[in-house]
Amino acid sequence: MALVLHRLRAGLIYSQDFADYLEARHSEEHIGHPGDILHLDYVRCGQGDMAGQEWCQLTWISGSQAPTNSRHQIGGVQLYIHNQAIRGLKNRMLHYDGQNVVVKS
């Protein structure tokens, strides 16, 4: 089956599998997070034992801590992604492989 890809104006590429995962996670958890928004953070290790490894993590933060100019729509989910994370993810792809969110260069 072909991988369906999407791109945000900010340059982030994501698969439909990631968008589907995000929507499923949001629908499962949002009831316990009134007024909160999902926050996607990106980490890439530059040195040490994990040098070269990269990953994303999703957490919930207060909507008041998420400036509207850093909110992005992926599928039916509004997601806060800090500008620094957007720069790090530019021209990389977020994908859900059935078990984990993975970052592909």
pTM for the whole thing? 0.89
Mean pLDDT of 27-36: 96
**How do residues 53-90 score in pLDDT, each as one tens digit?**
778 899 999 999 999 999 999 999 999 999 999 998 98
The CATH code for residues 5-104 is 2.60.300.12
Mean pLDDT of 34-49: 88
Letter string b/e over residues 32-67, b meaning 16 or more CB atoms within 10 A of that residue's CB: eeeebbbbbbbeeeeeeeeeeebebeeebeeeeebe
- Residue 1 pLDDT > 70, yes or no? no
58, 38 Cβ separation under 8 angstroms: yes
Distance CA 62, CA 91 (A): 28
Q: Is the pLDDT of residue 95 over 80?
A: yes
